[in-house]
Amino acid sequence: MTDIAPSTATDSATTRPSVLFVCVHNAGRSQMAAGWLRHLSGGAVEVRSAGSMPADRINPAAVDAMLEEGVDIRAEQPKVLTHEAVEASDVVVTMGCGDACPFYPGKRYEDWKLEDPAGQGLDAVRPIRDEIRTRVLTLLAELGVEPVHA
């Protein structure tokens, strides 16, 4: 997917930009991305995550990797991707969900090619976590939101 249109949230003083992270199971990559965005934006961005085929629980290695960085995603639960979640978001970031991701004109789409942490240990998940953090910081800059944590 490509960047289709700029965010519709232009006045950050009155409207928070909203981002939806989507992967297949909503148990690893999208949950880590959502956790990073919540943490780094300090609430300045509305954050959603979902999966085309949600898992029963979040990947424990993803939880542990994020806890190492002071970001707690233990309370999160995988959620099914809905059309309403896409419609309510300014930016939709996909991570390997393929054709299962609905497309709406006027939304900004990005596809982040990231390794899937499913079934991998903590040592393999750490570089994925760090790459996601870098991409989230770039996304924040593009949205004009200053990170509250370095």
Catalytic option among 23, 32, 93, 136: 23
Contact (Cβ atoms closer than 8 angstroms) between residue 61 and residue 30: no
Residue tagged active-site, from 97, 125, 139, 145: 97
* DSSP helix, strand, coil percent of the chain (3-state; round to 5): 35, 15, 50
132 sits in the region (left: phi over 0; alpha: psi -120 to 50; else beta) called: alpha
Residue 97 annotated in active site: yes
With contact defined as beta carbons under 8 Å apart, do 7 and 108 qualify? yes
* Residue from 101, 125, 128, 139 carrying the catalytic annotation: 101
Rounded-to-integer distance, Cα 116 and Cα 46, Å: 24
Is 23 annotated as catalytic?
yes
- Residue carrying the six token digits 């790459």: 131
Residue 40's contacts (CB-CB under 8 Å, 6 or more residues apart) are: 133, 136, 137, 140, 147, 148, 149
Annotated catalytic sites, by residue? Answer: 23, 97, 101
